[in-house]
A and B are shown apart, each in its own frame.
Chain A
Amino acid sequence: MIEIDIKKSFKNKNEKIDFHFKTTIENNSINAIFGQSGSGKTTLLRLLSGLETPDSGFIKVDNKIWFDSKKKINLAPQKRDVGFVFQDYALFPNMSVIQNLRFAQPEKNEDFLQELLEIVELKELQNKLPDALSGGQKQRTALARAVARKPKLFLLDEALSALDNTMRQQLQDDIEKIHKNFKMTTLLISHDIAEVYKLASHVKIVKNGKILKEGLPDILFDESKISGKFKFSAKILKIQKADTIFVVTLLIGGNLTKVVATKEEVDKMSIGDNVLVASKAFNPIIIT
């Protein structure tokens, strides 16, 4: 089990932000950190990995102390046994895929690396340099590299947010496979409710540098107050007159939708506005 109770203040130009994270993480679980940008999710991972030092508090991993301000213990990132997957991949440009993985291993174990490459489907590309890879391939390399030293704690900092949907799903599958095979305690940051649902057994909702709520993924539903209604935020792209009514073209999460509006409604709109689209009475079907 990992026990955390850490505080850290950051001084911005105008404001001081106080982070205080107090929580426990079960061994071998996948935990999603959910929250808006700027809420402190990345900071939490960086504090855990030792890339940032808390002002006070402690981090205890299976009774081993990683950080304790009172006992003046602060293990360097090198000594913490974590695998960190960075948002910008952070692959070493001078090393090929397999060299990146080899660099990460404390003791040589080529069989294990080949097994890893099999899981993330990079066997054929193992001698390529990172610059020759696509975004998804880079991220899979980064994933495999972080696992290569079999860390106790696996940290993913919005590892999937830069990828398109298909790529993202494949990466999610890879993370699932990796977890099934190696059972590392995992913390992953995500903005995506579907992703959290798919991968995580526990969710921690972070807001203003504190853990607001934690528990099973279901807690996300209380948070977003979902009712029977459909509700989306959208952007107005076009307003067209059609006979006596108007047709408004909206952009909702990458999809275009047309919605009918009256003259009075259109008068309040202008192109480029961000609006909320809600619908009460209709019967949606889910296609899988």
Chain B
Amino acid sequence: MFLETMLLTFKVALITTIILFSIGIPIAFWLSTTKSKLKPIFETIVSMPLVLPPSVIGFYLLVFLGPSSLTGGFFEEYFNTRLVLSYEGIIVGSVIFSFPFMVHPIQSGLQSLQKSLVEASYTLGKSKFQTLFYVQLPNIRASLLTGIVLTFAHTVGEFGVVLMIGGNIPGETRLASLAIYDEVEALNYDLANQYALTLFAICFAILLIVYIINRKFSGVLK
């Protein structure tokens, strides 16, 4: 049971991170270059999960993704997938909840990169796409790593959204943070401690590695 829950937790975190990495880069790129007047609105939307109580997000996800809602109904009918009280549901919830943790570091990395690097690449005939992949992203490795790790660690640690949308189903939506709560409620302090200590150690190790690697990157670049 313990192992199953831990594996599920990291699987959800990994998938969330992969999804957010692939959609975070284009969104961060757009935010870092756009001159649109709507930019503050989009930036606000991206940042909302930072300040909103997770239960608010969880509540609205329940409302908008439930089987009787338009989106939920659509997914249920065409993809045979239920987005609440399910594994898919907590992935969707995690992606939304961890959004700023991926987008912010990448956006600020892109913005702080010397402008002339991009301009030089353009004058050398390289498209925006080539410039992003061969010049910009390789030179903001530290920001990319920060985004990946923060997203991963944040997803491992989330509670409220997963509880609201996942419903705490063992083996499907019960993640480690929920398991701790359950075990404490059942007065199984030993097991709770096992979960808590494992999470603590893993999160500590991940962050430590990031800071060490980032120090190395920033020594090489800039």
Contact = CB atoms under 8 A, between A and B. Distances in A.
Interface residues of B, number: 19
Given A90-B114, A92-B117, A84 B221 contact: no
A106 to B, nearest CB: 6
Nearest to A51: B119
A14 B17 CA distance: 47
Contacts of B40: none
B220 A131 contact: yes
Given A103-B124, A145-B124, A93 B139 contact: yes
A82 interface: yes
A103 B221 CA distance: 19
A94 B139 contact: yes
Contacts of A78: 122-123, 125-127
B63 interface: no
Interface in A81-98: 81-84, 86, 88, 90, 92-94
Of the candidates B114, B116, B123, B126, the one having the most CB atoms from chain A within 10 angstroms of its own CB is B123
The bracket for how many chain A residues form the interface is 20 to 34
A146 B220 CA distance: 24
B109 to A, nearest CB: 13
Contact of A84 (B117, B120, B134, B220): B120
B15 interface: no
A78 B126 CA distance: 6
Nearest to B120: A90
B221 A93 contact: yes
A104 B222 CA distance: 22
A80 B123 CA distance: 8
Interface string A101-136: 001101000000000000000000000000100000
Interface string B120-154: 11111111000000110011000000000000000
A94 B139 CA distance: 6
B186 to A, nearest CB: 53
A261 B148 CA distance: 69
Contacts of B138: 94
B212 to A, nearest CB: 20
A10 to B, nearest CB: 15
A92 B135 contact: yes
A57 interface: no
Interface of B: 114, 116-117, 119-127, 134-135, 138-139, 220-222
Counting from the closest, the 10 A-B pairs by CB-CB distance are: A90-B116, A90-B120, A94-B138, A84-B123, A77-B122, A104-B124, A86-B116, A78-B125, A77-B123, A93-B221
20 contacts: A49-B123, A51-B119, A76-B122, A77-B119, A77-B123, A78-B123, A80-B123, A81-B125, A84-B120, A84-B123, A86-B116, A86-B120, A90-B116, A92-B120, A93-B139, A93-B220, A94-B135, A145-B124, A146-B123, A149-B125
